[in-house]
Amino acid sequence: MDMIDSIECVTSSDGMEDEDAVSSNLPRPYLKTSASTTTAAEAASVGVVPGGGGVGIPGPLISPATSVHELLECPVCTNSMYPPIHQCQNGHTLCSTCKARVHNRCPTCRQELGDIRCLALEKVAESLELPCKYYSLGCPEIFPYYSKLKHESQCNFRPYNCPYAGSECSIVGDIPFLVSHLRDDHKVDMHSGCTFNHRYVKSNPREVENATWMLTVFHCFGKYFCLHFEAFQLGMAPVYMAFLRFMGDENEARNYSYSLEVGANGRKMIWEGTPRSIRDSHRKVRDSHDGLIIQRNMALFFSGGDRKELKLRVTGRIWKEQQNPDSGACIPNLFT
């Protein structure tokens, strides 16, 4: 059951900037060569373009020779194989991931695989340098296989999960792609400006069995922020909660602060905090209670009238913290 029957939003309007999603195909691996030792004939025989620079410096981005590519192709998943590479007694190979899938039987000749390693192919695989798997998101790094795995675990170009939690969306991507996805696929309201004034209305506020919620995206300081408002059960008590998430990493989220305010009849509740990164899941933020929490009885009191209809007005603003060069302390930048 939807919690929000109607919404009014009043924000500053300085134009919404459309950003195109970054998309490109991953390049083929490099084959490490030395320009001083590789002749044109030798390069042609293995599909390497000579002239790539000095020793240890890869040449132009190229496709490996078809024969090398085929040698490293797993017959089960068709992905490129990297150490450990397994083989049967007849010499048929497959990757370590697929070894368990085929119940230790060669998919080509059905012989038992055992624990035989194909060391020759492993050396070939180790000679390749591969782009980071987040190349399409803008990461320019290229590594040998083992270094690549370590790099990718910490790469700043890791894709983000879609912050639209209502349908448990599994889409991932970079920020421009997710902004377009939220706007086009989830029909999320998009607003420009660093202040907001939302009015949430619900005709039957006593129905909070489901974690019903609303998401709005704001664009300010050249960044995107997600304002969440929802109802859920906190223990036995139904509550409403509003909180902000930053579309970016946690270290950058700390550069911003926000405030939320709700009230009526001479009463007021105010929350100030730092937006959480969308690296933290929607549920994690909600369950940490890191936001403005309003008990239902207080929410109905703010609504006035006969207390049978929820009418909450939530106002707020986002500001960027500026580093004080003298003291090292952060001071609010209220005028940017």
φ/ψ of 79, rounded to 5, equals -80, 160
Count of C-beta atoms within a 10 Å radius of residue 125: 22
Residue at 183 is within a domain: yes
Residue 256 sits in the same domain as residue 174: yes
Pick the last residue of a domain from 117, 152, 187.
152
Distance of alpha carbon 170 from its chain centroid, rounded?
Answer: 10
- Average pLDDT for residues 257-284, to the nearest whole number? 91
- Specify the CATH number for the domain of residue 220: 2.60.210.10
Residue 110 sits in the same domain as residue 214: no
Residue located via tokens 């929410």: 299
Per-residue tokens: 210: 């489901």
Tens digit of each residue's pLDDT (9 = 90 or more) over 109-143:
988 888 899 898 888 887 777 778 777 777 888 87
Angstrom distance (rounded) from CA 177 to CA 295: 36
Angstrom distance (rounded) from CA 258 to CA 190: 18
Residue at 11 is within a domain: yes
Residue at 1 is within a domain: no
Task: Please give the model's pTM, rounded to 2 decimal places.
Answer: 0.58
User: Which range of residues forms the domain containing residue 130?
Assistant: 30-152
Q: Give the DSSP letter string of 275-302.
A: PEETTS-HHHHHHTT-SEEEEHHHHHHH
Could you give the number of structural domains in the chain?
2
Residue 251 sits in the same domain as residue 234: yes
Per-residue tokens: 157: 């170009």
φ/ψ of 128, rounded to 5, equals -85, 145
- Average pLDDT for residues 210-221, to the nearest whole number? 80
- Specify the CATH number for the domain of residue 81: 3.30.40.10
Q: Residue 182: pLDDT above 90?
A: yes
Residue 178 sits in the same domain as residue 146: no
Residue 251 sits in the same domain as residue 182: yes
- Looking at every residue in the chain, the average pLDDT score rounds to 74
φ/ψ of 102, rounded to 5, equals -95, 15
Q: Residue 334: pLDDT above 60?
A: no
